[in-house]
């Protein structure tokens, strides 16, 4: 049986809660990414109280990925993807401190102009897929479902046989195979770079004749190698295996 204590009154104290900025409600970010930002913002308030600031008086937090994952009950990979998306959106900045030490994380508060950019879905990364780039075919052509005839009519696409009808051919040469789910994940992981990697992979396979078992995995590997080297690698030397 419910009691009066179950309902809010003028004297009711709220349970502990996370700060969740209103701009996040309309931000074109993954739900997990919004949750991670709220957790980081909450931790930043603790850093403020404890005086955790660098020489420039900028507040930072130290919050290992595993601990963030435990806090939001998600996997470490989900947290990594969320941190990448937050950094690409300009909402955090990470400072590496050494091989065995967790990064310093600076939580940023967007101004009015940045909030408009984050909440304007017409200008978002996900919306860019609807705009064909120079030399690309239109999105209707890129996103068409592959029928059996499409898979076998071109002798250069024999390796596409058996691909699920839900897989869509992408890239200038229509040879990068990604499901809608894979594309959505890549957009979240590489919000400013996913289309560049799709086009690079398309051009590389068309020019070399190489094929790969999983194009999404190949793009992730290239992106990881880019981050490790700190630049754009020569893919012709990096990708030695032909599967």
- Spans of all domains in the chain: 23-119, 125-238
Query: According to the model, what pLDDT value does residue 34 have?
Result: 94
- Where would I find the H helices in 74-193? 76-88, 112-119, 139-142, 148-152, 180-189
Query: According to the model, what pLDDT value does residue 212 have?
Result: 86
Instruction: Kindly give, in sequence order, each residue whose CB lies less than 8 Å from that of residue 27, ignoring residues fewer than 6 positions away.
Output: 34, 89, 118, 119
**What dihedral angle (degrees, nearest 10) is formed by the CA atoms of 151, 156, 161, 165?**
-40
Helices (H) and strands (E) in the chain — how many of each? 11, 5
Query: According to the model, what pLDDT value does residue 175 have?
Result: 87
- Where would I find the H helices in 104-143? 112-119, 139-142
Considering the four listed CATH numbers 3.10.290.10, 1.10.10.10, 3.40.50.300, 1.20.1420.20, the one that applies to the domain covering 23-119 is 1.10.10.10
* pTM for the structure as a whole: 0.49
What's the Cα-to-Cα distance from 146 to each of 113, 115, 141, 142, 201, rounded to whole Å?
41, 39, 10, 10, 19
Integer Cα distance of 81 and 135 in angstroms: 30
Integer Cα distance of 148 and 190 in angstroms: 31
Helix (H, G, I), strand (E, B) or coil at 101: coil
Instruction: Kindly give, in sequence order, each residue whose CB lies less than 8 Å from that of residue 164, ignoring residues fewer than 6 positions away.
Output: 179
Query: According to the model, what pLDDT value does residue 36 have?
Result: 95
Query: According to the model, what pLDDT value does residue 99 have?
Result: 75
Query: According to the model, what pLDDT value does residue 100 have?
Result: 76
Per-residue pLDDT of the chain (243 residues; tens, 9 = 90+): 555 557 888 888 888 888 899 989 888 899 999 999 999 999 999 999 888 899 999 999 999 999 999 999 999 999 999 999 999 999 999 998 877 788 899 999 988 767 777 776 544 444 343 443 433 433 333 343 333 333 333 434 444 443 343 678 888 888 888 888 888 888 888 888 888 988 889 888 888 888 888 898 898 888 888 888 876 544 443 444 443
Instruction: State the residue for tokens 């893919």.
Output: 235
Query: According to the model, what pLDDT value does residue 120 have?
Result: 67
Instruction: State the residue for tokens 């404890």.
Output: 50
Query: According to the model, what pLDDT value does residue 81 have?
Result: 94
């Amino acid at each position: 049986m419910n009691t009066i204590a179950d309902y809010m009154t003028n004297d009711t104290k709220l349970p502990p809660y996370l700060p969740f900025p209103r701009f996040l409600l309309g931000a074109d970010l993954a739900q997990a990414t919004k949750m991670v930002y709220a957790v980081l913002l909450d931790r930043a308030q603790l850093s403020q109280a404890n005086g955790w600031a660098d020489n420039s008086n900028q507040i930072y937090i130290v919050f290992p990925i595993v601990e963030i994952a435990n806090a939001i009950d998600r996997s470490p990979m989900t947290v990594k993807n969320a941190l990448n998306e937050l950094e690409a959106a300009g909402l955090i900045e990470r400072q590496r401190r050494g091989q065995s030490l967790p990064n310093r994380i600076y939580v940023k508060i967007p101004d009015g102009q940045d909030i408009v950019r984050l909440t304007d879905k017409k200008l978002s990364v996900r919306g860019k897929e609807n705009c064909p780039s120079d030399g690309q075919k239109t999105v209707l052509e890129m996103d068409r479902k592959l029928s059996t005839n499409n898979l076998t009519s071109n002798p250069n696409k024999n390796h596409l046989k058996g691909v699920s009808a839900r897989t869509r051919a992408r890239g200038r040469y229509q040879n990068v195979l990604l499901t809608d789910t894979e594309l959505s994940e890549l957009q979240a992981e590489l919000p400013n770079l996913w289309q560049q990697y799709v086009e690079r992979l398309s051009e590389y396979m068309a020019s070399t004749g190489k094929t790969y078992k999983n194009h999404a995995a190949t793009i992730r590997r290239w992106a990881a190698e880019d981050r490790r080297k700190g630049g754009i690698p020569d893919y012709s030397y990096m990708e030695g295996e032909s599967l």
